[in-house]
């Protein structure tokens, strides 16, 4: 009787196996950036939605009180300026308009005298997603700003105030001389390359609640670490972890992404307040009344 031969089975050679592994590695290398781009696009969209919520809240406040919320609650009565530091910021003032009325009532901020917040407690460390950019994985509590709750959004103090003498500006949307569509209300700042912010006015630096244009968007804070508190002059800049630029809320409620190449005055330090009155795009968008035309998509 003859035996039937089983067909021989040949496995992969070492070279074939290495080729397959190399192909898989190439595919993964191509896939990872695509996944990262999708994630960043989603984070940028959520960040834009945060801006829109803040814009709507500011307009609702403006409709109620006939003026925009103060960047930092100060007063000027009988020739006396009251500017508590720590103090209450714009982020606290609009809490009732971003569905955080319960937190606002628990904080019970004195905005008329005005007073200021106590030392950081559980309420003042409440994580508020509307004040956090999804691209930035900063801690919920900011160690550089008296342990208050972290935020990624900063206001244009030239509009919301207070002025250089810490007196309220009391400017309304409809009274912005250069037009609400040509003026920043809010920008962003990250925690990786800069100091981010908090949603009260910390006494460490006014950079905790406000931003200034300076020469450019997205400079690197050279302090060590960059998010340590005051740091260098870049602490007052607008920064983000979005690729190639940062997002801004304008007075009319629209949100625009400005690229890193947006012109700023190279001779205007970030610490300058008000910013230099020169005809550069960033300075024009910061100033509410410089009279210079500006075009931004």
Domain annotation covers residue 106: yes
Contact call for residues 273 and 212 (beta carbons, < 8 A):
yes
CA 110/CA 113 separation, integer angstroms: 6
> Rounded mean pLDDT of 275-293?
95
Tell me the pTM: 0.87
Contact call for residues 77 and 277 (beta carbons, < 8 A):
no
Domain annotation covers residue 291: no
Q: How many CB atoms lie within 10 A of CB 182?
A: 21
Contact call for residues 155 and 183 (beta carbons, < 8 A):
no
Domain count, the chain: 1
> Rounded mean pLDDT of 260-282?
97
Would you list the DSSP string of 121-137? -TGGG---GGGS-TT--
Residues 6+ apart with CB under 8 A from 294: 178, 182, 281, 284, 285
Residue 213 phi, psi (nearest 5): -75, -45
Domain annotation covers residue 292: no
CA 67/CA 184 separation, integer angstroms: 16
By residue count, the chain amounts to 297
> Rounded mean pLDDT of 121-132?
97
Would you list the DSSP string of 8-74? P-----HHHHHHHHHHHHHHHHHHHHHHHHHHHHHHHHHHHHHHHHHHHHHHHHHHHHSSPPPSB--
> Rounded mean pLDDT of 117-139?
96
pLDDT digit string, tens, across residues 56-72: 999 999 999 999 999 99
In this predicted structure, the answer to whether residue 133 has a pLDDT above a threshold of 80 is: yes
Residue 168, sorted as left (phi over 0), alpha (psi -120 to 50) or beta, turns out to be beta
In this predicted structure, the answer to whether residue 45 has a pLDDT above a threshold of 60 is: yes
Domain annotation covers residue 1: no
Domain annotation covers residue 296: no
Q: Which domain holds residue 152?
A: 15-72+83-286
- The confidence band for 31, taking pLDDT boundaries of 50, 70 and 90, is low
Token output for 238 = 């607008």
Domain annotation covers residue 6: no
For 220-224, which contacts have Cβ atoms below 8 Å and span 24 or more sequence positions?
220/193, 221/193, 221/194, 221/195
- The confidence band for 230, taking pLDDT boundaries of 50, 70 and 90, is confident
Residues 6+ apart with CB under 8 A from 11: none
Query: What's the pLDDT at 20?
Result: 81
Q: Which residues of 141-175 are buried (b: 16+ CB within 10 A; e: fewer)?
A: bbebbbbbbbbbbbbbbbbbbbeeebebbebebee
CA 263/CA 259 separation, integer angstroms: 9
Query: What's the pLDDT at 34?
Result: 57
> Rounded mean pLDDT of 181-206?
97
Domain annotation covers residue 10: no
Domain annotation covers residue 150: yes
pLDDT digit string, tens, across residues 105-124: 999 999 999 999 999 999 99
CA 126/CA 232 separation, integer angstroms: 28
């Amino acid at each position: 009787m003859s035996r039937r031969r089983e067909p021989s089975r040949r496995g992969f050679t070492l070279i074939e196996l290495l080729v397959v592994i190399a192909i898989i590695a190439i595919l993964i290398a191509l896939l990872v950036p695509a996944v990262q781009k999708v994630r960043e696009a989603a984070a940028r969209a959520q960040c834009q939605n945060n801006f829109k919520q803040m814009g709507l809240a500011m307009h609702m406040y403006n409709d109620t009180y006939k003026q925009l919320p103060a960047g930092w609650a100060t007063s000027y009565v009988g020739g006396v300026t009251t500017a508590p530091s720590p103090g209450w910021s714009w982020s606290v003032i609009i809490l009732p308009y971003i569905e955080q009325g319960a937190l606002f009532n628990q904080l019970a901020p004195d905005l008329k005298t005005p007073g200021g917040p106590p030392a950081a407690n559980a309420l003042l460390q409440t994580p508020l997603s509307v004040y956090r950019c999804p691209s930035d994985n900063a801690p919920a509590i900011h160690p550089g700003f008296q342990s208050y709750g972290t935020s990624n959004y900063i206001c244009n103090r030239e509009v919301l105030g207070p002025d250089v003498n810490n007196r309220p500006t009391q400017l309304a949307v409809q009274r912005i001389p250069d037009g609400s569509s040509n003026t920043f209300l809010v920008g962003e700042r990250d925690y990786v390359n800069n100091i981010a912010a908090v949603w009260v006015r910390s006494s460490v630096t006014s950079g905790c609640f406000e931003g200034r244009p300076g020469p450019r968007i997205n400079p690197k804070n050279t302090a060590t670490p960059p998010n340590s508190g005051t740091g260098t002059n870049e602490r007052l800049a607008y920064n983000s972890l979005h690729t190639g630029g940062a997002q801004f809320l304008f007075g009319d409620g629209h949100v625009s992404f400005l690229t890193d190449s947006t012109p700023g005055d190279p001779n205007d330090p970030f610490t300058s307040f008000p910013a230099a009155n020169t005809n550069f795009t960033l300075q024009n968008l910061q100033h509410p009344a410089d009279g210079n035309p500006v075009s931004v998509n």
